[in-house]
Chain A
Amino acid sequence: MSAVALLAGLGVLAALAAFAPRARRVQLVATILVAVEVVGAIVAIHVLVIDHPLAGHTTSLLPITGLHIDLTPLGALFTLTTAVVAFAATIHWVGYRRHAMSSVGASCAFALFVTSLLLVPAAGDIVTFLVLWEIMALTSLALVAHDHALRDEARQAAWWYGAMTQGGAALITLGLVVLGAHAKDPSFASIAASAHHLPGATRAAVFLALFIGFAAKAGLVPAHVWLPRAHAEAPAPASALLSGAMVNLGIYGIVLTRTLLGVGPTWWWLVAGFFGVISALYGSLYAATSTDLKRLLAYSTSDNMGLVVIGLAASGFFFAKHPAASSLALIASLVLVTAHALYKSTLFLGAGSVQYATHERNLDQLGGLARTMPVTSVAVVIGALSVAALPPLNGFSAEWLVVQSLVHGLAGADPVTTVATAVFVAALALTGGLTIVAFVKAVGIGFFGRARSEQAAHAREVPVSMRIGPGITATACVVFGVAPGLTLSAITRASATVAPNRSGMTATLAGFHLGALRGAVDPLALALGAVAATLVVAALRQSRGPAGAAKLRSFEPWGSGRVLTSARMQYTATSFAEPLQRVFDDVLAPQHDLDVSHAVESRYYIERVAYVSANDDVVERRLFRPVLALARWWGVRARGIANGSVHRYLAYGFVVLVLALVVVS
């Protein structure tokens, strides 16, 4: 408990340090924040090692209910993940301050944001949880709105994010309050003990309210619309935390819902799985067709959270018939959450470095950065290959586990679950393929090839702290990818907070072994084999042929018989995704506009051709825009009622009072 108090105290101190003079502000705040993160990591590791919750209660800070801390192994896993991501982001921020995020407000918000992210999983009752949740929401809103004075997009992003996050919080509050009203006190432990006494309909309603509320935080479709805007507009260290830590807490919330309410009927998890599938497919499809690097990453976050929810859903509906597969699915989702935190923060920090160096995040204007920014580009390549779930990186072992849980869960499945499971596997596979397209595009167009603009051609490698930040998380992606067994005991303990582990799964340093469920994977052996083979082949390539032949000579690439001079002849991100966009034309419904102006003299001469292609979010356009238009229409109509006359307003008040009295009597 005192350690959590120390963490909170240091966090507040970091926020106060933001008022230091400009010259030393960011370094000072970052130093204290590193201490906060180290304390958070130590507390979390302690809880995971002793495998026992850390609980405490204080009434001095909050009147009436007080603050209630209860850090379970499950919460500790999320705190630990956040601590690692926040550590990398804080280090990156030290260099990034020359680009943005050096003001008092931004530094203060960042410090409080990190602290609240570390503390939310430690909340032990409803009030503490909601207070910390709101601090997290408001500080992150301030960071999303960071560039509000410069760009209209940032203001828009802040509005969308604010509305979605508050809407979600309202549903979460509603659900938790209903649960709290039926429990003897508002602590999560007593709610979990009493929730099964609730009538089925109430439990279902609470489940839906909490699921939707937390899904909005996790960025599940259709509540994802804030994500591509907010993640793209927030400064890089903040967007790394939004995507690497905050969306995780949406998943934490869904898992928490299960601990509070119990597993419940199968249809709950079919609903959850449905939204998981939609998010995975929709997110990966938009990631594959986006040209803005940070929007692409944000859509991919939506997609990954969809996969995690598929795992959670599988764990829910295998629970009754196949407990081993259910445990496996839960563990798989948690592995995927932690893996996602590491690779996505690498990518967002890397994208921030690219923005720092080129002032550009449109892939169609980038290219050739692998030569000018070698360290950043290696980190980004590692992150991208991890998202693409390629062995031996951490995304692979995580997705392998999810697939395994589905394969084994089929053993005890009824027809409905069989079809659902097959659909889940297909969704996972298509998502995997589309993710590969998205990230080969992001890396291949953005970092390889020739520079497509002046800024990209003159990019210089970023300051050392901005190389260390993503370097840390990228290294973690490789280490936990090659040796996935390292994290398994911690994650198994975390999953035991929710349900006892029945998977019988074991891990060696090298890989996972599923025990009674037949199956194993060994990324270390695969990596060693492939690396050894690469070295042998490389040696053969060097040794063949006459002296000097092994030396590389560079030539102009083939330009169909003419000398290739322009980098504009390369494929762009738009053209790269064009076949896919055409295949999924019905879903994406992209808008094209071709405007040909003819010369005045003759229609045979064309003066100008303008081609506009927009690929905006179809859920936003078809679902949210009509709602907003309706609200606007109603607002305009309502102007007639509110004409500024005080007498009229008094009359309204009187009428409503009379009506209220009539209703009450």
Chain B
Amino acid sequence: MNLATFAVGAVQLALVVVGGPLLLGLMRRVRSRLEGRDGPPITQPWRDIAKLAHKQRTRPTESSWIFSAAPLVLVATAATVATLAPLIALTPPLAASTDFIAVIFVLLVGSVALALAALDTGTAFGGMGASRALTIGALVEPALLVAVLALSLPLHSTNLVAIVADGSRHASVLVGPSHLLALASFIVVILAESGRLPVDNPSTHLELTMIYEALILEYSGPDLALVTLGESMRLAIWLGLFVNLVAPAGVAANAGAAALVLGLVAVAAKVALVGTIVAVYEVTTAKLRLFRLPELLAGGFILALLGVVTGAVMR
């Protein structure tokens, strides 16, 4: 544990905080252009956040402490993961104990806090959002953990830094069938976890179809700014982890300034590319009916399970 690793953590945190809303803006921009609209500039989410931060804080009449605490927890857990995960360099702080499963569960704390806050509002929408979000969350879980199991096979370790480092050193790991199957399942997981199409439509406000928007319906002002920031940070983290597992090229192997700058640019470019692809995919697809989702998620689970079995057999 030395100062350089904390510098890496600070740079990663800054990248995710600043870049998260920009990623959201980029994806909206791409969608609007494909839909034949000009769309807002990619800095629009930041402008919204700045505007909301200056407004009055509100809460529903009969809510309790969890309603105020949830946005803080959402942002804080995302910030913790952004600092510790191997996003721009292989030397984040506490690399030896940056476990993949721990990272997933820390992010889960944010989702649970938000779901509890939604139930705390005492409205039908809050309950609807919480119920749907958690049902999907529960069904995503098997695909996610079995995918992690498949990714852990070459090293027999779920240490996230070690997995990414192994990929960056041995290109053969990256094209192994179990790695590819696990990442395919990961795509499904990320679309579900970050509430993108075909699981949830992030731009809907139609009451009966929305999941995530219903969950945060009662937030306004600075709290809504935090929720938006937190969600965009989580999206950036998921995509950042994904690109580093698919193609770790450019991730800094040491904490030198030049390597860090290169790593930062590389990760930002890769995430922007994947974000654009997701946005293009979103334009071309429709939201799945809620009760058709288990089929999609089960598909993700089967892919991950095949990944484990092929990985174990081919060893």
User: A residues bordering B, Cβ < 8 Å?
Assistant: 288, 367-368, 370-371, 385, 388-391, 396, 400, 403-404, 406-408, 410-411, 413, 415, 418-419, 422, 425-426, 428-430, 432-434, 436-437, 440, 443-445, 448-450, 511, 513, 517-523, 525-526, 529-531, 533-534, 537-538, 541, 544-546, 548-560, 564, 567, 569-572, 575-580, 582-583
Contact B309 A418, beta carbon cutoff 8 Å: yes
How many Å lie between the Cα of A523 and that of B221 in the bound state? 33
Contact A570 B123, beta carbon cutoff 8 Å: yes
Contact B58 A553, beta carbon cutoff 8 Å: yes
Q: A391-B105, A583-B135 are in contact. Are A449 and B62 (CB under 8 A)?
A: yes
Contact A517 B62, beta carbon cutoff 8 Å: no
How many Å lie between the Cα of A336 and that of B106 in the bound state? 19
User: In the complex, which residue of chain B has the Cβ closest to the Cβ of A523?
Assistant: B102
Contact B127 A407, beta carbon cutoff 8 Å: no
Contact B135 A557, beta carbon cutoff 8 Å: no
Interface centre among A371, A529, A549 (most CB of B within 10 A): A529
How many Å lie between the Cα of A425 and that of B73 in the bound state? 28
Contact A519 B99, beta carbon cutoff 8 Å: yes
Contacts of A422 in B (CB 8 A): 146, 149, 305, 308-309
Enumerate B283-315 residues with CB–CB distance to A below 8 Å. Answer: 290-291, 294, 301, 305, 308-309, 312-313
B53 within 8 A of A: yes
Contacts of B56 in A (CB 8 A): 548-549, 551, 553
Contact A436 B112, beta carbon cutoff 8 Å: yes
Q: A444-B120, A533-B79, A557-B122 are in contact. Are A400 and B59 (CB under 8 A)?
A: no
Interface centre among A385, A448, A533 (most CB of B within 10 A): A448
How many Å lie between the Cα of A567 and that of B94 in the bound state? 47
Q: A390-B108, A404-B158, A440-B134 are in contact. Are A429 and B144 (CB under 8 A)?
A: yes
Interface SS of chain B: helix
Q: A371-B64, A518-B155, A525-B97 are in contact. Are A419 and B309 (CB under 8 A)?
A: yes
A537, A558, A576: the one within 8 Å of B218 (CB): A558
Interface centre among B128, B139, B223, B313 (most CB of A within 10 A): B139
B24 within 8 A of A: no
B162 within 8 A of A: yes
B276 within 8 A of A: no
Contact B120 A449, beta carbon cutoff 8 Å: yes
Q: 4 additional contacts, CB 8 Å, given A370-B120, A526-B84, A537-B75?
A: A418-B309, A541-B222, A549-B222, A570-B126
Contact B218 A557, beta carbon cutoff 8 Å: yes
Q: How many residues of B contact A (CB 8 A)?
A: 88
Contact B106 A518, beta carbon cutoff 8 Å: no
Interface centre among B116, B144, B291 (most CB of A within 10 A): B116
Contacts of B71 in A (CB 8 A): 537, 541
Enumerate B93-135 residues with CB–CB distance to A below 8 Å. Answer: 94, 96-97, 99, 101-102, 105-106, 108-109, 112, 115-116, 118-128, 130-132, 134-135
Contact A407 B226, beta carbon cutoff 8 Å: no
How many Å lie between the Cα of A591 and that of B305 in the bound state? 33
Q: A530-B77, A546-B54 are in contact. Are A388 and B64 (CB under 8 A)?
A: no
A370, A413, A425, A559: the one within 8 Å of B145 (CB): A425
Contact B140 A433, beta carbon cutoff 8 Å: yes
How many Å lie between the Cα of A544 and that of B308 in the bound state? 49
Contact B57 A549, beta carbon cutoff 8 Å: yes
Contact B145 A429, beta carbon cutoff 8 Å: yes
- Shortest distance between the CB of B74 and any CB in chain A (Å): 9
Contacts of B68 in A (CB 8 A): 552
Give 4 closest A-B pairs by Cβ, nearest first: A571-B127, A433-B138, A444-B119, A433-B141
Q: A391-B109, A554-B58 are in contact. Are A433 and B75 (CB under 8 A)?
A: no
Contacts of A551 in B (CB 8 A): 56-57
How many Å lie between the Cα of A449 and that of B66 in the bound state? 10
Report 9 cross-chain contacts, Cβ distance below 8 Å, ordered by A residue: A390-B109, A390-B112, A403-B158, A415-B312, A437-B137, A444-B130, A554-B58, A570-B123, A577-B131
Contacts of B301 in A (CB 8 A): 426
A368, A429, A525: the one within 8 Å of B62 (CB): A368
Q: A391-B105, A551-B57 are in contact. Are A440 and B119 (CB under 8 A)?
A: yes
How many Å lie between the Cα of A559 and that of B131 in the bound state? 18
User: In the complex, which residue of chain B has the Cβ closest to the Cβ of A371?
Assistant: B64
B142 within 8 A of A: yes
B61 within 8 A of A: yes
B204 within 8 A of A: no
B203 within 8 A of A: no
Enumerate B146-189 residues with CB–CB distance to A below 8 Å. Answer: 146, 149, 152-153, 155-159, 162
How many Å lie between the Cα of A546 and that of B222 in the bound state? 12
Contacts of A391 in B (CB 8 A): 102, 105-106, 109
A425, A534, A570, A578: the one within 8 Å of B122 (CB): A570
Contacts of B217 in A (CB 8 A): 558
Contacts of A521 in B (CB 8 A): 97, 99, 101-102
B61, B118, B153: the one within 8 Å of A554 (CB): B61
Contacts of B135 in A (CB 8 A): 437, 579-580, 583
Contacts of A534 in B (CB 8 A): 72-73, 76
B55 within 8 A of A: yes
- Shortest distance between the CB of A408 and any CB in chain B (Å): 6
B38 within 8 A of A: no
B60 within 8 A of A: yes
- Shortest distance between the CB of B315 and any CB in chain A (Å): 9
Contacts of A560 in B (CB 8 A): 207
Contact B58 A449, beta carbon cutoff 8 Å: no
User: In the complex, which residue of chain A has the Cβ closest to the Cβ of B140?
Assistant: A433
User: In the complex, which residue of chain B has the Cβ closest to the Cβ of A426?
Assistant: B142
B57, B66, B153, B156: the one within 8 Å of A550 (CB): B57
- Shortest distance between the CB of A423 and any CB in chain B (Å): 8
Contacts of B76 in A (CB 8 A): 530-531, 533-534, 537
- Shortest distance between the CB of A181 and any CB in chain B (Å): 43
Contacts of B79 in A (CB 8 A): 529, 533, 537
- Shortest distance between the CB of B128 and any CB in chain A (Å): 7
Contacts of A572 in B (CB 8 A): 127
Contact A558 B142, beta carbon cutoff 8 Å: no
How many Å lie between the Cα of A472 and that of B53 in the bound state? 40
User: In the complex, which residue of chain B has the Cβ closest to the Cβ of A396?
Assistant: B105
Contact A390 B105, beta carbon cutoff 8 Å: yes
B57, B61, B75, B156: the one within 8 Å of A407 (CB): B156
Contacts of A569 in B (CB 8 A): 123-124
Contact B130 A576, beta carbon cutoff 8 Å: yes
